[in-house]
Amino acid sequence: MAKALLLENIHPVAVENLEASGFDVELRTASMSEDELAAALPGVTLLGIRSNTHITERVLDSAPDLTAIGCFCIGTNQVDLAAAAGRGIAVFNAPYSNTRSVVELVIAEIISLARRLPEKTQKMHAGIWDKSAKGSHEVRGRTLGIVGYGNIGTQLSNLAEAMGMYVVYYDIADRLAHGNARRMPTMDALLAEADVVSLHVDGRPGNAGIFGDAQFKRMKPRSIFINAARGMVVDTESLREHILAGHIAGAALDVFPIEPKAQGDEFESPLRGLDNVILTPHVGGSTQEAQEDIGYFVSSKLRNFQLQGSTELSVNLPAVQPPALVEGARIGFLHVNVPGVLAEVNNILATEGVNVTGQYLATRGEQGYVVTDVSGHVSEAALEKLQASPHTQWLRGWDA
């Protein structure tokens, strides 16, 4: 029985989905260090992680039985994708499942910071009645600046506009504006116009440290800052200085450069204790609805890869989505992407008298992947010839 190891408190629906398909599943609540992963992964076929577990080349070298990794989150920058692809290990994620949850949190934070609710509720808990409109504003008519206009940024744009906000956005990619949103030519141009700045960029290395002292200085006086993207993109020490100076009126952060590894661990940040600052423990996508959807979605991708050979929505291997295998047999052939490989595969099968009933293929960079369905069974001689090809990375077979 193939083993699946799921870390970081992944939703139980993932366990149920994999167990129903015959996998032996181990669920752990915390992330694992490089040393812990190296010790735990021998014998593991499928690995499920979230954003706090990092899969390095050393970890992959310690995982001889690993065939696929599921990132039960949006990002995949915590995985060395090239190293995984080089070993024929498929990586999957959930690019859309928690979009709404993140957007709703950001909307709530915009309103809370504009009304200075963090301070008001703290005073009430301390027994202080401080009824005042000082520093409290409506968000209607204000300008929201969105840095990163992908799935989350565009949905945030739609909801913010529905509340009466003006929206400007900046993205390095050519993104179509939603509604009445306006594209800005530079991030500096956005910062000069926005009353609220919300970051929604990905975790690529080039985004590290893109928001620091220079960017905070360019924001409008008494503006609001929100980061629900990646912790490493913001200089939190600079943000602290601008909040204390009164230049930034409030901030909300859900992600941090260094985050605790497990529930209950101490959280350290220079932003602790500041007025009108909302700090949340990376829960933008942590709603029951989002986590259940992610759990089912990613576990299904892992299951379909292992049991059917499907690489649909893989972020590092050629994406092939074959239909369900209902009769005959199937061969999955991951190979070096050079001319003539498909002809070689079909020539071997024809020579060995194998009748092909369907074929599905794709290439990605230096790799190609072909899934071939056949009637009956594939002879050992045909499999041996395919395995012996100098272009073979791996060869797997399934029966209906």
pLDDT, tens digit, 9 for 90 and up, residues 342-399: 999 999 999 999 999 999 999 999 999 999 999 988 999 999 999 999 999 999 999 9
| CB of 141 closer than 8 Å to CB of 117 | no
| Domain match, 110 and 239 both | yes
CA angle, residues 367, 392, 44, in degrees to nearest 5: 85
- Report pLDDT for 75: 86
With a cut of 50, list the residues of the chain below it in pLDDT. Answer: none
Q: What is the pTM assigned to this prediction?
A: 0.84
In the structure encoding, which two tokens stand for residue 340, read together?
């003539």
| Domain match, 200 and 310 both | no
The domain tally of the chain equals 3
| Domain match, 264 and 170 both | yes
Q: Give the residue numbers spanning the domain of 212.
A: 99-279
Q: What is the mean pLDDT of the chain?
A: 96
- Based on DSSP, count helices (H) and strands (E) in the chain, helices before strands: 13, 16
| Domain match, 366 and 391 both | yes
The residues assigned a catalytic role are 230, 259, 282
| Domain match, 115 and 264 both | yes
Residue 232 is classified by DSSP as G
| Domain match, 339 and 244 both | no
Could you give the percent of the chain with pLDDT greater than 70? 100
**Minimal CA–CA distance to 73: which of 146, 157, 154, 14?**
14
CATH number assigned to the domain comprising residue 268: 3.40.50.720
CATH number assigned to the domain comprising residue 336: 3.30.70.260
Whole-angstrom CA distances from 144 to 153, 178, 180, 181, 224 are 11, 13, 12, 10, 9
- State pLDDT tens for residues 270-289: 999 999 999 999 999 999 99
Whole-angstrom CA distances from 39 to 15, 73, 131 are 22, 24, 57
- Report pLDDT for 263: 82
| Domain match, 20 and 150 both | no
| Domain match, 135 and 158 both | yes
> 220, 251, 279: which is the final residue of a domain?
279
- Report pLDDT for 264: 86
- Report pLDDT for 239: 98
